[in-house]
Amino acid sequence: MCSGISFLVGLVLLVKGTFRFSNRNVPQQTGRIIGLILMAPLVIGFVYGLSVVNQAGGLSEDILQNEALLNAAMVELVVLVLALAVSGYLVLSLPKEPMMAGGPTWSGRAVASPIQYAKVMTTAEVADYLRIPEFEVITLIEDGKLPAARIGSDYRIARSVVEDFLQTHGGDV
């Protein structure tokens, strides 16, 4: 049942692509990848179940009580949990959108308040600033494309370096 719901949600995301979740805008490509991931548990469970039935030479009362089908259900459950974990990670690694301030204006729409970034930022702040997932910021740092100072297991990046990076790379982030 849960895999069926996951499959339907995945199918909708595969068709739609973009969506908003937990104050994060998920781009079309990422949304479609999440859709495919959410569709996988049912497909994998179905294929695994078919292989169990084929190995047993057909469906009989013995096969219904066979632990092989129980194993197929467990495989499907494990894949479902993994799919949900990976999908959650992909969504939660995206930067949050800034909160709207000031309430409604005369046009009825809220106005975004400008965010003040510190002179030295964390990877999460840089991700928010560039509007990319945090893991992409870390990849840019590790690839040597974005200079950063390492403090323990964390990185610190000067805002001026990020602004220089934007000037040189523009839309290639």
Domains along the chain?
A: 2-92 (no CATH), 116-169 (1.10.10.10)
Q: Give the pLDDT confidence score for residue 157 in this predicted structure.
A: 94
pTM: 0.52
* Secondary structure element (H or E) that encloses residue 67, with its range: helix 67-92
**Sequence-distant (≥ 6) Cβ neighbours of residue 17 within 8 angstroms:** 27, 28, 29, 31, 32, 35
Tokens of 143: 């690839």
**Sequence-distant (≥ 6) Cβ neighbours of residue 95 within 8 angstroms:** 24, 124, 127, 128, 130, 131, 132, 133, 134
Tokens of 12: 């909708």
Round the CA-based radius of gyration of the chain to a whole number and report it.
Answer: 23
Q: Give the pLDDT confidence score for residue 172 in this predicted structure.
A: 61
10-residue mean pLDDT series, the chain (173 residues): 83 85 82 89 82 64 62 83 89 72 42 69 89 90 92 91 85 59
Instruction: Report whether 165 contacts 158 (CB < 8 A).
Output: no
Residue 61's φ and ψ, nearest 5 degrees, are -65, -35
